[in-house]
Amino acid sequence: MRSRELDETAPSVARLALLLAAFLGLIVVGLNLVAPRPFQVSQDQFLELIDKGAVASIEIGDHGLRSVLLSSMEFGQRGRRVRTQQVRVDLGATTGDNRITIADSAIAIADFEARGIAISYADPGAEGETDALWLTVVVGLLSIGAWHLIAQARHNRLNGSPRQQLRELETEFREGRMSRDEYEKQAAEISTDV
């Protein structure tokens, strides 16, 4: 009687797995949305920040400069106001006819260092590699989860689910085909699978 009540009220394993996967997916998306991202500024805005002494450090990468400011500042772009402590300048971006060339100029880098700004160099392609690594991890975990669900479904189709096995065991015990000790021993083994 008790096993029938459990079967009727308990959600299916597949539903719980899908809910867990959706919940974890929402966490990953939420963390990506909440994670502080550098605000893109123009070369002129960046040089103004340097002149004001607002830049604490600069990281020079393949695609641009990333800077950490001494304190949070408010920036506006296309009617949007953002408060951030990190800014970036894309090397491939254009301002008029001039391409941004700050990172290519040894004089500018020496000037930044003379102003007390810490300069560092990003590993080539490090950001793309990190994204690919996380994508691989997420796809791998989802694949393992899908494999487990399929393997469990096959096992349950061949041997019956643990709840079904408990029901059959209970029926055999009621019909007197097994002793109480044997029933409790087998029920304990099956219950570990539930």
Q: What is the DSSP letter of 150?
A: H
Cα angle value 145/11/161 (rounded, 5°):
70
Q: How far is CA 17 from the centre of its chain?
A: 18
State the pLDDT at residue 193.
Answer: 64
Domain ranges of the chain: 2-30+133-191, 36-121
Choice between 148 and 109, residue whose per-residue pLDDT is larger: 148
**124 vs 48 pLDDT, higher one:** 48
The mean predicted confidence, pLDDT, of the chain is 76
What is the four-CA torsion angle of 142, 148, 150, 151, rounded to 10 degrees? 160
CATH of domain 36-121: 3.30.720.210
| 126 or 186: which leads in pLDDT | 186
Q: 155 is written with which tokens?
A: 């096992």
Other Cβ atoms closer than 10 A to 122:
15
Per-residue pLDDT at 5 exceeds 70 = no
- pLDDT at residue number 94: 46
Query: Between 49 and 38, whose confidence is greater?
Result: 49
Residue 98 has pLDDT above 60, yes or no: no
* Pick from 48-57, 66-75, 115-124, 169-178: least confident: 115-124
Give the integer Cα–Cα distance in Å for 15 and 126. Answer: 38
> Is this prediction's pTM over 0.75?
no
pLDDT tens by residue, 56-87 = 888 887 777 888 888 888 887 777 787 888 88
**How far is CA 162 from each of CA 36, 55, 66, 154, rounded to the nearest angstrom?**
47, 63, 56, 13
Average confidence (pLDDT) over 26-38: 74
Q: Who has greater pLDDT, 99 or 167?
A: 167
